[in-house]
Chain A
Amino acid sequence: GNSVTQMEGPVTLSEEAFLTINCTYTATGYPSLFWYVQYPGEGLQLLLKATKADDKGSNKGFEATYRKETTSFHLEKGSVQVSDSAVYFCALRPLNTGNQFYFGTGTSLTVIP
Chain B
Amino acid sequence: SAVISQKPSRDICQRGTSLTIQCQVDSQVTMMFWYRQQPGQSLTLIATANQGSEATYESGFVIDKFPISRPNLTFSTLTVSNMSPEDSSIYLCSVRTDRAEQYFGPGTRLTVT
Contact = CB atoms under 8 A, between A and B. Distances in A.
A99 B45 contact: yes
Contact of A44 (B31, B48, B104): B104
B92 interface: yes
Task: Classify chain B: how many residues form its interface, as a range.
Answer: 20 to 34
A106 interface: yes
A36 B48 contact: no
Contacts, number: 42
Interface in A94-113: 99-106
B23 to A, nearest CB: 11
A44 B45 contact: no
Contacts of B92: 43-44
A44 B6 CA distance: 13
B104 A4 contact: no
A1 to B, nearest CB: 12
Interface of A: 4, 34, 36, 41-46, 89, 91, 99-106
